[in-house]
A and B are shown apart, each in its own frame.
Chain A
Amino acid sequence: MIPAVLVARLRQLPLEAHAWGTVVLLGAGIGLVFFYAPLDADQGITQKVFYIHVPIALTAYACFGWGAWKALVHLRTRAQGADLESYAAIHQGVIFGALTLVTGSIWARASWGIWWTWSSNQLVTFLILFLLSSAYFMLRYSVDPGPARANMCAVYALFGVVLIPVSWLSIRLANDFIHPTVFTRHGPQMSASMFFTFCVCWAGLLALASTMYRVELAGKRLDARLRELRELLAS
């Protein structure tokens, strides 16, 4: 309920104000990471990657989830524009998913001395989720535009989102020694200043994703209107 209210509020916010809010939040987040959050006793400076890697991963999940929600809206109500909104959200999810894999790989190299390991369940399930979402675009662009394509893409988006809880729970279900569990049922396993910094960074990245989503959606809608206008003028 809260995300729906938040999204409705964000939609009313002018895009320019939204973008400036993103800049402020991200700037504040980076300032907090380097000048406020304490150094981790175990990992030292390399733990600073946590403040960008984990929020990016959670933002990717949020984008995939939003894409699936819009796909469900399309299938249930055939609301105009829901298919396009689902597509734009999944596109943002893939961008943030790619960044998750890259920043995670850099952190792994810095902390564990390896770029990648197939023994970590969360890494592998996230990679599968990313590849599955990337394949969404292959499906979308291999079918002619129309209601059939919209329906197929919506079903695919819903199918792909099932992997999110699997990916989230994988390190909790299995004893993953490589990938640490920071958020447990007892709360976040970090100091209050670290958690505050993490929350600001996550808010900044969610704001970035939503700004990018709105810009992309506006571009796509404008593109469609121009195509319509061209057809009208050509006839």
Chain B
Amino acid sequence: MSSGEKYVAAAYLVVFVAVLAWVAIMAAKVARLSNEVEELVELARSRERNAA
């Protein structure tokens, strides 16, 4: 692999890694939101039980 090819590969790899990192961050966010929804469902259920 020539040095020119290495630089080209590096440029494309940087973009790929950045997109991958963004996807990972978004996945973590979705997981957090999903946990939050679970918590709120639990909270709503407990309120319903208390009201009954």
Contact = CB atoms under 8 A, between A and B. Distances in A.
Contacts of A56: 15
Contacts of A216: 26
Contacts, number: 62
A48 B26 contact: no
Contacts of B40: 226, 229-230, 233
Interface residues of B, number: 24
Q: Is the interface of B mostly helix, strand, loop or mixed?
A: helix
Interface stretch (A98-106, A141-149, A151-159): A98-106
Given A52-B15, A107-B11, A233 B33 contact: no
B8 A49 contact: yes
Interface string A208-222: 100010011001001
A176 interface: no
Nearest to A234: B43
Given A219-B29, A219-B30, A45 B15 contact: no
Interface size class of A (residues with CB under 8 A): 20 to 34
B31 to A, nearest CB: 12
Nearest to B19: A208
Given A44-B4, A48-B8, 10 more contacts: A30-B12, A45-B4, A46-B4, A99-B14, A103-B11, A103-B14, A106-B10, A110-B7, A229-B40, A233-B44
Interface of B: 2-5, 7-8, 10-12, 14-15, 18-19, 22, 26, 29-30, 33, 36-37, 40, 43-44, 47
